[in-house]
Chain A
C-alpha cells in the first residue's frame, strides 16, 4: 500500500477524530455531574444534621418548660415532697429527682417514698445551676440508681433568696437513640449526638457499645463548628461527617456516611454513562466501517479492474460512486486511444516490413539484371552499385514526402546527378511546371531517366563534350492530368536506332507500361528525341501551390 494509509484506515481515523473528543466531552461532563452530585449529597448530610438538632432542641424544650413549671411549684418550696411527687408524676412521666444543695437526693420518682437515697453523681451542673441560678444541661453520665446512661436538666430552687433545692429532670439517652432511629436515614449512615465533652449521648449503629464513650478524635477536633469534614470514625473508616451544634444544649450532632457511599452512586452513574458511551462509539465505528466499505469497496474494485483493463483485457465495471465512474471513463478513453495508437503503429511496422522486403526483391532484381548484362565481376559491381545509388536517391525523395509522391523536377535532377560533369558545367536543361508524381511511378521514372542518360553517355549527346540534353515537360488536364515529357539530345554525334533490343530498351518499354503511358523515339543527325506521355493523377496536386505554372 503506497502513501500513508488506505481509504479504510483514513476513514477509521476520521471516526476516531470525531469519537475521541466526543467521549472526552462526555467524561468531563460526567465528572462535573459527579462532583455536583457529591456536593448535593454532602449538603443533604448537613441538612439532616440540622434537622436532628432541631428535633433534640424541641424535645429538650418540652422538658425545660415542664421542668420550669415544676421548679416553681409551691409544694416544692413548702418542702412537701409527697405533694410535689404526686404533682410531678401527674405531669411528667420521666424521672424527676429533688436533691438538697449538697447533692443528697431527697426524692426520686423511680424509688418508693421513704427509701434511703444515694448522693447524686457528678455535681457539675448541680453546682452550676445553684451558682448561676439558671437551668443547666448536663453531659452524659451513668445514673447511680438506674445504672443507665442519662442526661439531666438541673433547675435551681431558691427560697427567700437562698439556694434551697435542685430539681432535676433526668432523661434516659435511649430517648435520643430513638430520636435518631426515627429519622429518615441514608443507608449505612453513622449518626451521633455528643455532649460538650465529646462523649456519645446516642449513636447509631452500636449505641450500647458507644454511649458515654468519647467520640472519635477526628470528630472531636472539628466539632466546634458547623460543616462537612472528612474524618476518621471510631471504627477507623474514612467518612464524610456533617457537624451541627445545638445552641440550646451545646451538644453536637454528627451525621456521617462512608466515602464509598458518597462515591458509589457517582461511580454507578459514571460507569453507566461510560458503558453507554462505549456502546454508542462501537456502534458508530461499525456504521463507519460499513460506510468505509461503501467507499473503499468500489475504489478497490476500480483498482483491480483498472489493472485488468490496462493489461488489455475486456472488463466490465458498474461504478457505485460517481467519482469512480469518472475515473473509469477517463481510463477507458485512454485505453481506447492507446489501442488506436497501437493499431496504427502495428500497421506502420507491417508496411515498413513490406517495403523492406519489396526493396530487397528490387535489389535482387537489379543484381540479376546487372549480372545478365555484365558477367565480368568488376563491371557488374560498378553497374550494380550505380543502380543501387539511383534507387537510394529515389527513395530519399519519396521519404521526404512520407512515401506518397515526389516532385518531377527533383526526380529528374536526382536521376541525372551521376552524369553531370565534375567541372560543374551543366549540360542538362530542365523546364516544366511543378508536378507531383506518386511513389511507384516516381521510382519507374528514375529508372527510365537513368537508362536514357546511360544511353546518351554511351552513344548519344553526352558521349562528346559539346552535347547537351533538354528535358522539358508540360501538364495537361484533358480531362485527366497527363504529363508530356520530352528528352531532347543535341550537339552529339548522329544517332541511329539500336540494332537489337537490350536491357535499356526493355526497361524503357516496361517503364512506359508501368506508367500506363506511351513512349516514342526519333533518331536523327541532331541526336535522339524521346517523348513520354503518361497519366499522372497526382500531378494536379502541384497546381494548388501558390507559384504553380499553368499548363
Chain B
C-alpha cells in the first residue's frame, strides 16, 4: 500500500534545539505540518493532552527524563508514535517492538520510519 506524508500533521518532541530545528525542516520538506512541538517533558505532557495530529515523533530521553508518560497519553488517544533515540532499543523495555528511529538518521530513514509508524 502506497502512503504519502504530504499534509500529515505531526507533533514533534525533541529537547535539543538543533535537532528540533532540523527535524522540523525535514518535515517541511516532506510536506508535513508541524502542529505542535515540545522541548521538555512538561511541555510534551501539556500539549499531548489535546493536540490533534496524525503522528507524534518522540525523543525518548528529555533532558534526563523518559518520554514514556507523554507517549502513554498519546497512545491512549490513538495517536501513532515514532520514537527516536540514541539508546539501543533494548535499554528502555517499553520501547521493545515499537516503531523506533535510531539517531543519527537521514531524511530517507526518517521518511521510512514515519511511514512504518503510520501503517502500524
Binding site for B on A (CB under 8 A): 350, 353-358, 360-366, 368-369, 372, 438-441, 443-444, 447, 506-507, 510-511, 513-514, 516
Pick the residue among A350, A353, A358, A447 that contacts B17 (CB under 8 A): A447
B32 within 8 A of A: no
Instruction: Tell whether, in the assembled complex, residue B21 and residue A354 are in contact, meaning their CB atoms are under 8 Å apart.
Output: no
- Return the CB mask of B87-120 against A: 1 if under 8 Å, else 0: 1100100000000001111000000000000000
Instruction: Look across to chain A and name the residue whose beta carbon is closest to the beta carbon of B63.
Output: A440
The residues of A that contact B16 with a CB separation of less than 8 Å are 358, 361-362, 365, 440, 443, 514
Instruction: Tell whether, in the assembled complex, residue B20 and residue A510 are in contact, meaning their CB atoms are under 8 Å apart.
Output: yes
The residues of B that contact A511 with a CB separation of less than 8 Å are 17
Binding site for A on B (CB under 8 A): 15-22, 25, 37, 39-40, 42-43, 61, 63-64, 85-88, 91, 102-105
- List 6 A-B residue pairs with CB atoms under 8 Å apart, sorted by A's residue number: A360-B103, A360-B104, A361-B103, A361-B104, A440-B16, A510-B21
A516 touching B43 in the complex, CB below 8 Å, given contacts A357-B103, A361-B104, A507-B17 = yes
A514 touching B18 in the complex, CB below 8 Å, given contacts A350-B91, A357-B103, A361-B103 = no
Chain A: minimal CB distance from B82 (Å): 15
Instruction: Look across to chain A and name the residue whose beta carbon is closest to the beta carbon of B107.
Output: A368
Instruction: Look across to chain A and name the residue whose beta carbon is closest to the beta carbon of B42.
Output: A516
The residues of A that contact B43 with a CB separation of less than 8 Å are 513, 516
The residues of A that contact B103 with a CB separation of less than 8 Å are 357-358, 360-361
Chain B: minimal CB distance from A515 (Å): 8
The answer for the CA separation of A368 and B39 in the assembled complex, in Å, is 20
A357 touching B102 in the complex, CB below 8 Å, given contacts A350-B87, A368-B22 = yes
The answer for the CA separation of A11 and B109 in the assembled complex, in Å, is 72
The answer for the CA separation of A281 and B25 in the assembled complex, in Å, is 95
Instruction: Tell whether, in the assembled complex, residue A439 and residue B63 are in contact, meaning their CB atoms are under 8 Å apart.
Output: yes
Pick the residue among B18, B39, B40, B63 that contacts A365 (CB under 8 A): B18
Chain B: minimal CB distance from A512 (Å): 10
> 3 closest pairs, A vs B, by CB?
A357-B86, A361-B104, A361-B103
Instruction: Tell whether, in the assembled complex, residue A361 and residue B105 are in contact, meaning their CB atoms are under 8 Å apart.
Output: yes
The residues of B that contact A516 with a CB separation of less than 8 Å are 39-40, 42-43
Pick the residue among B15, B19, B21, B64 that contacts A506 (CB under 8 A): B21
Instruction: Look across to chain A and name the residue whose beta carbon is closest to the beta carbon of B23.
Output: A365
Chain A: minimal CB distance from B27 (Å): 13
Q: A354-B85, A354-B91, A356-B86 given; name 4 further pairs at CB < 8 Å.
A: A353-B88, A362-B16, A440-B15, A447-B18
Instruction: Look across to chain A and name the residue whose beta carbon is closest to the beta carbon of B40.
Output: A516
The residues of A that contact B40 with a CB separation of less than 8 Å are 514, 516
Instruction: Look across to chain A and name the residue whose beta carbon is closest to the beta carbon of B37.
Output: A513
The residues of B that contact A365 with a CB separation of less than 8 Å are 16, 18-19, 21-22
Chain A: minimal CB distance from B57 (Å): 13
